[in-house]
Amino acid sequence: MPGFELFGEEERKEVNDVLNTGILMRYGFDGPRKGIWKSKELESALCKRLGSGYAQLTSSGTAALTTALAALGIGAGDEVIMPTFTFVASFEAVLSVGASPVLADIDETLTINPDSVIKHLGHRTKCLMPVHMCGSMADLDPLIDISTKHNLVLLEDACQSIGASYKGKSLGTIGHAGCLSFDFVKTITCAEGGAVLTHSHEIHQKCDGYSDHGHDHIGTDRGADLHPFLGYNFRISELHAAVGLAQLRKLDQFLAIQKRNFLQLQQMLSQIPEISFRKIPDPAGDAFTFLSWFLPSEELTLALMNELKAQGIAAGNFYWYDHNWHYIRKWDHLKNAISLNNLSGPQLHALEKISKSNYEASDKIMSRCISTSISLLWTEEQVEDKGKKLVAAIRKILSRQSVPI
């Protein structure tokens, strides 16, 4: 997810516009800023490109999730169903608003399995949070059905999937709200930043206030703002928004390069019948940031990762099953409820339940999955070279297996 790979004059120009005024804050200072409002400009550009009614920038994707949850009314005692495969930020945001995460299994889409969601519904369930992992989408239609039938809030974590879509609609614009991240390793970056997308004026107004100490942002005298509700500081700065603006203008170029490199690599791996690929509910909507594929067994996948490491070509091939950040298996701090401050009774209860749960269905998928990240800088020859080395390593591992001991 490499927006930082194509960074240049465009980003510098936008940042210099801000530096020339010296107004680094997104609100207020109407006179001295001389008409430079990069955050507002980026919010409008996001709405236009992604087809969202409103966008609220925040200081990170984690802050966007926290802001969205609060604006959607999720808090103490509420449960949020989310997948076993995501980034730790998804459950951090849930815990930070006082709610409890409930983990449901994933399926071969590498996103939440609607059947597993149904098994985890309870009287405290208030929100369903699909996470569109690695540039591609959750199977949204059944999830929309579940959320409608059970009167749940649908919050899309689209932090990893800006530019991807489902049935013609941008990810993040389909649920009641959706969140994006612009951290340094995302498809487009502004170093640190995020956004909440929504079609609801009311939810947007709440996000706008919540992410700025509850300010009502009425009028031009910030000191005279009222505080209709409690909020926090999750503001983005003008410098970050300026970088994001230049990056957003390059999004379609990035997506096109990713698609070209992804398809070339996929075509090479397709030569091996033992390899299967991640299920994509709407292939036309993939952002092509990762090529995710499966080997037939955990043993083979481990053997391949060891082979790739031994050959010095493992970089960019992610075995999430063994990863500290993205999969339940290594989230010991969550499972053991290790928190610097007190968690609530319902939260402790929910985490204990997670620690005692069996996520075998997710394990069966994640233990065989490798995601190869797609670079914007690869030439056709480099993809060819990488593909050949990968194919040779896979064949070597598979042939070892077929030799009787």
Ligand X SMILES: Cc1ncc(COP(=O)(O)O)c(C=O)c1O
Smallest gap from Cβ 44 to ligand X, in A, equals 21
Residue 108 structure tokens: 């071969």
Contact between 41 and 245 (Cβ < 8 Å): yes
Q: Confirm if 209 and 231 have CB atoms less than 8 A apart.
A: yes
Rg over CA atoms, the chain: 22
CB-based contact 368:294 (threshold 8 Å):
yes
Dmax over CA atoms of the chain, in Å, equals 79
- CB closest to ligand X, residue no: 61
What is the helix (H) or strand (E) element at residue 302, kind and residue range?
helix 298-310
Residue 179, H or E segment: strand 177-181
By CB atoms closer than 10 A (0-12, 13-18, 19+), residue 92 is middle
What is the rounded distance in angstroms from the CA atom of residue 38 to the CA atom of residue 239? 8
Task: Pick the closer one to ligand X by CB: 62 or 347.
Answer: 62
Give the nearer residue to ligand X in terms of CB position, either 172 or 231. 172
Q: 86 or 173: whose CB is closer to ligand X? A: 86
Alpha carbons 145 and 149: distance in angstroms, whole number: 6
Q: Decide whether 129 or 242 has the Cβ nearer to ligand X.
A: 129
Phi-psi region of 156 (alpha: psi -120 to 50; beta: other; left: phi over 0): beta
Smallest distance, ligand X to C-beta of residue 66, A: 10
Could you give the 3-state DSSP secondary structure of residue 311? coil
Residue nearer to ligand X on the CB measure, 5 or 352:
5
| Least Å from the CB of residue 311 to ligand X | 28
Residue number with CB closer to ligand X (74 or 131): 131
CB 160 → ligand X: shortest distance, Å?
Answer: 5
Residue 128 or 159 having the CB closest to ligand X: 159
Q: Judged by CB, which is closer to ligand X: 172, or 209?
A: 172
Q: What angle do CA 212, 203, 35 make, to 5 degrees?
A: 50
Q: Minimal distance in Å, beta carbon 149 to ligand X?
A: 26
- Distance of alpha carbon 82 from alpha carbon 95, whole angstroms: 12
Shortest distance in whole angstroms from residue 63 CB to ligand X: 7
- Return the ∠ at Cα 91 (arms to 367 and 198), rounded to 5°: 110
Query: Shortest approach of ligand X to residue 237 CB, angstroms?
Result: 14
Identify which of 235, 201, 237 has the alpha carbon closest to the alpha carbon of residue 71. Answer: 201
- Token digits of residue 31: 């006179």
Name the residues that contact ligand X, by CB under 6 A: 60-62, 86-87, 89-90, 131, 157, 159-160, 181, 183, 194
Rounded Cα distance between 34 and 23, Å, is 9
Nearer to ligand X, 193 or 231 (CB): 193
Q: Which two tokens stand for residue 44?
A: 């409008």
Least Å distance between CB 178 and ligand X?
A: 11
Shortest gap between Cβ of 194 and ligand X (angstroms)? 5
